[in-house]
Structure 1
Amino acid sequence: MTSSKDSRYSDDTVLQNVNHFVTVTQKNKQTNSAHLNFLMECILPIMKEEDETFKRLYNSIQYGGSFYKGTKISNAEEYDLDLIIKLQETPLKVEMSKNKPGYVKIKLQDPHVDVWKNYHGQSWLAIPKPLNGDEGNLLWRASFYEQEKELLLSKKHLKNVLRLLKKLRNQENFSNLSSYYIETLFFHEIDSQNPYFWEQNSLTYLFMHMLKKLQRALENCEIKSYWAKNSNLLERLSKEEKQNMASRLKKIVNIIEKTIDSDPLAIARFLLNEKEMKKLSTEYDEL
């Protein structure tokens, strides 16, 4: 693993400039949020008018996804909205799925039996997400969005590094490498490092550190779920696909390490498209 004292990765000038290409501006966030809120204010009354059951059960909306976590790398074209329903009058029993870690089965139960309110000691949401298999349509995915958002807060460079890795993923066309897989790698790293890791080290060092972590995870064919430790998120990808991505990332790391002394833009060349690279080169020459 790269040493945090490695002078090659102490200068953040280039990646700070690259970061402009992967950060949604505050103005864009405010504009998009205003449009979305207006849209939901129009749609929800219609949905309630059309469906009495929905009107009775609707509780609130949880705005989720990378846009609201602050890890979105481009202008938002889609949003994750969870419509939370209220079932206070209906006693429920929650059973963990034995075959699908991280998923649960929800059953109506006798009102005298205690209701499970917590999972791993934390409040959570159950999201209907059909899976293949005999019980696929009966399973709900346990979601810890609020806890995950909290994990990513107040860690200086962390979100920037996460966005940069997602940008690299897009440039390399690793379409099946989910943003959530990359995020989960960061959740584990947060636990394994001291609280000051993300502010004591340079952005460039941290990017290389997490790039190598991702490469090794793909090489080892494993990123464990943060919430269901016996679940391997990468099992959804074929062995060949994981090996190809791991091999490509290893090649990228080697090229960067061999050339960054003579080419300050070495990392940027793997993050930006031709148009973006041209703009960055002009800006860098003017520094």
Structure 2
Amino acid sequence: MNAGVNSLIHSLVCLDAAELIYFFEHLATAILEAIIMVNPATNRKNGRRKKVPKQIVAQPANAHPFSALRINGRNPVKHPFPLEETLAVSRGKINTIPALQQVLQTIRIDDDCKQDSKTIIHDLIKNNLIKIMKEKCEIFKKHYRDLAFVGSFYEGLKITDADEFDLNIVMKLPFGAHTPYEVCQVPKAPGHMSIKWDPKYLKKIEKSCSENIRPTFKWVDAQGYLLTNKILQYMESLVAKSVAEYNSELYEEDQISITKNGPALTLWHQSEDISVDLVPAFDFPARDCPPPPFKDPSMYCHPRKNMRWFIVPKPLKQHGLEIAWRLSFSEHEREILYDLGWVKPAIKIMKRIRDIMDWRTPDSYSLKTVALWLLDYGYLTPDDKLDFAFEKMARGLMYYLDKKKLPLFWDPRFNKFEDMNPADCKNKFNFLDKYLRSEKDIVELCELAAEDSEDEDDEFYD
């Protein structure tokens, strides 16, 4: 009982004022519905059922997370910058929708190609590589949970061939499910958190564990913090050995090569011309709230959907931050953007414009972050037609370029544009401003984006 109360208190502490209002309004709804189910007569007067007050009517089961969060016009999270009236979209006599649809036609991926690639990935990674990894390492066999399919392909945001995929190799936290640990902020690394065990307790349980599992105790430092570099070294070594065994039984043209890119190990299947980025990750259930000031991700999906969130070992430039783990809410983001009318097509058109202009920044996740903020603030909506959705996306990006600051959606302390050159921000702002002055200019931009390019490669962006 005490553990449940403590968990509830911790979750409530993570909420801001608007989210607390949302929580208690829906708590009132749940209590009212429970009373009705237990004794329907208590909700009747003169033979008629009382109406539930409008302000606490529960959202339907299929309601979109953003619409479910807006109660009487309130938004759950305050936007870091007030969206000004200068972002207003107007329409003249020229219909830009056909031109925008032409861009979408240019970046459409063949459905058969998608399915063939997914089948190859499933067979290569799940049926072969993971199986070999389990056979070669008792630690991996004990801690492996499953594969999480993440990235632009699985979100429906990829705009090039179905030849690049992102997979998280999800593992259980070491030292057993019942070993208590502490989750903490990392002040010098917004967007990250740390995990810490009691060193004395770890030494105690290390003596009783089997010999082949003891190497996991090297994954933490003297203070009990889980280290990103140790996990990356472990995974890199295991994957390399497993790929070597996989290749030993194949002809050269069917073999897999490995390269390293940040936290990801990139596997390239030569004969199929497909690459897969593998990233080790640990997952947490929806009931576990990440440390503040992170938003509670459960607020952005239906309570019946048990969405996980992840931590991944993304190396940081600063030394001494091996304890910092990047938080990832890929499942929540995919759910948020699911079935949102023309929102995802608008993001894809922006990605196409970026690639045609050979912009290395903003990256794909930054463009998605722009959309998440605009949706959360109510500026971009699922009811927008394609022309409005695209122009709002473009003007929203201009807004953040002008501010030279794009806060991470889940932790606004982290600026996605921190490394962007101010002059670069200004140039991209001016480019978009030039092509958003009239419908004629938008059509011209679409014609530019619809042009074919033999040298296109989305490898650096997705």
- Are the aligned partners of 1:9 and 1:202 in contact in 2 as well (CA < 8 Å)? no
Q: TM-score, normalising length from structure 2?
A: 0.54
Q: Could you say if the C-alpha distance between residues 56 and 212 of structure 1 is closer, same or farther in structure 2, counting changes exceeding 3 Å?
A: same
Aligned partner of 1:121 in structure 2 is 296
Aligned partner of 1:190 in structure 2 is 375
Determine what percentage of the aligned residue pairs are the same residue: 25
Structure 1, 202-211 or 7-16: larger mean CA deviation? 7-16
Residue 271 (1) aligns with residue 271 (2): no
Q: Tell me the SS of whatever aligns to 2:340.
A: coil
Matches within 5 A, 1:68-147: 68-87=154-173, 88-109=177-198, 117-119=288-290, 120-122=295-297, 123-147=308-332
Distance 1:138 1:14 in 2: 49
Aligned residue type for 2:192: Y
Q: Tell me the SS of whatever aligns to 2:322.
A: helix
Aligned partner of 2:395 in structure 1 is 212
Alpha-carbon RMSD across the aligned residues, in angstroms, is 2.5
Aligned partner of 1:60 in structure 2 is 146
Q: Could you say if the C-alpha distance between residues 146 and 24 of structure 1 is closer, same or farther in structure 2, counting changes exceeding 3 Å?
A: same
Aligned partner of 1:245 in structure 2 is 428
Distance 1:228 1:149 in 2: 18
Distance 1:53 1:98 in 2: 32
Q: Deviating runs (4+, > 6 A) in structure 1?
A: none
Residue 18 (1) aligns with residue 103 (2): yes
Q: Tell me the SS of whatever aligns to 1:142.
A: strand
Aligned partner of 1:203 in structure 2 is 386
Q: Tell me the SS of whatever aligns to 1:84.
A: strand
Q: Could you say if the C-alpha distance between residues 90 and 237 of structure 1 is closer, same or farther in structure 2, counting changes exceeding 3 Å?
A: farther
Q: Could you say if the C-alpha distance between residues 108 and 156 of structure 1 is closer, same or farther in structure 2, counting changes exceeding 3 Å?
A: same
Please give the per-residue CA displacement for 1:59-88, whole angstroms capped at 9, x wherever unaligned: 111000000111111113321111111122
Please give the per-residue CA displacement for 1:148-202, whole angstroms capped at 9, x wherever unaligned: 111101211001000000000101111131100110000011112278x332x32
Please give the per-residue CA displacement for 1:220-262, whole angstroms capped at 9, x wherever unaligned: 10111110012211002222222222222222324xx2735xx
Distance 1:21 1:91 in 2: 52
Aligned residue type for 1:126: I
Give the superposition deviation at 1:14: 2.1
Q: Could you say if the C-alpha distance between residues 269 and 38 of structure 1 is closer, same or farther in structure 2, counting changes exceeding 3 Å?
A: same
Please give the per-residue CA displacement for 1:113-164, whole angstroms capped at 9, x wherever unaligned: xx99321434421111110113332211000011111110121100100000
- Are the aligned partners of 1:72 and 1:163 in contact in 2 as well (CA < 8 Å)? yes
Give the superposition deviation at 1:6: 0.9
Distance 1:220 1:14 in 2: 30
Distance 2:399 2:425 in 1: 10
Q: Could you say if the C-alpha distance between residues 125 and 155 of structure 1 is closer, same or farther in structure 2, counting changes exceeding 3 Å?
A: same
Q: Tell me the SS of whatever aligns to 2:196.
A: strand
Matches within 5 A, 1:41-56: 41-56=127-142
Q: Could you say if the C-alpha distance between residues 252 and 79 of structure 1 is closer, same or farther in structure 2, counting changes exceeding 3 Å?
A: same
- Are the aligned partners of 1:23 and 1:73 in contact in 2 as well (CA < 8 Å)? yes
Distance 2:162 2:326 in 1: 24
Matches within 5 A, 1:171-186: 171-186=356-371
- Larger radius of gyration between Structure 1 and Structure 2: 2
Q: Could you say if the C-alpha distance between residues 9 and 74 of structure 1 is closer, same or farther in structure 2, counting changes exceeding 3 Å?
A: farther
Give the superposition deviation at 1:57: 0.8
Distance 2:148 2:432 in 1: 35
User: Structure 1 unaligned runs (5+)?
Assistant: 277-287
Aligned partner of 1:221 in structure 2 is 404
- Are the aligned partners of 2:91 and 2:439 in contact in 1 as well (CA < 8 Å)? no
